[in-house]
Amino acid sequence: MTQSVQNRSGDGYVTMPDGARLYYKDWGDGQPIVFHHGWPLTADDWDAQMMFFLAQGYRVIAFDRRGHGRSTQTQDGNDMDTYASDTAALVRHLDLHDAIHIGHSTGGGVVARYVARYAEGRVAKAVLVGAVPPIMVQTPANPGGLPLSVFDGFRDALVANRADFFWNVPVPFYGFNRPGQSVNEAIRQNWWRQGMMGGAKAQYDSIKAFSETDQTEDLKAIKVPVLIQHGDDDQIVPVEDSALLQAKLIPDNQLKIYPGYPHGMLTIYAEVLNRDILAFIKG
């Protein structure tokens, strides 16, 4: 494993035990905030949050999960257990303590597993934004989930034409398909850019990770305060089978539902969400 950072340059790489290299950004000083991106994006999806919290005096860190962005396009290890252990390795590499971990969508699943299993003494609070836990797919124990055929469709579309698939996903992701809304082409292109930076094999495997991983026990095991943020018009991760269940399972939580907000609300409504996250961190 790469030794702890001695001289911080603003970004870098950390090497995992299996040889995968994770790219990260690390700016500022003060209490650390670690950002975990959604599928199939990168650390760049947190630009609005990184700049906001940096200006508030925090140390801000965001990284590309394995298989995504500038990190190694791994063939293996694209699952929640490995994502969480990778996070633990990054935290040790940067020697982070008293950190706030914020995860969006799939990144919320990573945060839940990491905080439940590895966070003792290193995490102060967590934030789940449009997060996937406890489980997205429909099962006998989760009748409100999405049918497996939905995720099979994702896999088929990715294999058939990943560029075309990633061009279309941002439309419901940001609610651009709703009445009165128009497509913000710059946001759409930035989503597409990030998605196409990653590895197709890792992104394919990650669909199973974010949809079929049952994180019920992770949520129950979280011992730090958690802010849950979710839009009630989230077309990607429906609120009824995610945030509302998270609030029943996490021992110490605050639930904030945003009327009309889409899955990509961190970009579309950054000012609102950043302010609420700041209030939670300071509270």
Residues annotated as catalytic (active site), given as ranges: 105, 234, 263
**Which amino acid appears at position 59 of this protein?**
R
Order of strands, edge to edge, in the sheet holding 253-258?
Answer: 11-15, 21-27, 59-63, 32-36, 99-104, 123-129, 226-231, 253-258
Say if residue 4 is exposed, middle or buried (CB neighbours under 10 Å; 0-12, 13-18, 19+).
exposed
What does the block give as tokens for 5? Answer: 């950072």
Two structure tokens written together for 233: 């018009």
φ/ψ of 56, rounded to 5, equals -85, 0
CA distance 158 to 156: 5
Query: What backbone phi and psi angles, to 5 degrees, belong to 34?
Result: -110, 125
Cβ atoms of 36 and 68 within 8 Å: the answer is no
Residue at 265: amino acid letter: M
Query: Rounded CA gap, 63 and 38, in Å?
Result: 11
- Cα–Cα distance, 23 to 25 (Å, whole number): 7
Q: How would you label 48-80 residue by residue, b for 16+ Cβ within 10 Å and e otherwise?
A: bbbebbbebebbbbbbbbbbbbbbbbbeebbbb
Cα Rg of the chain (Å, integer): 17
Site of tokens 């700016």: 27
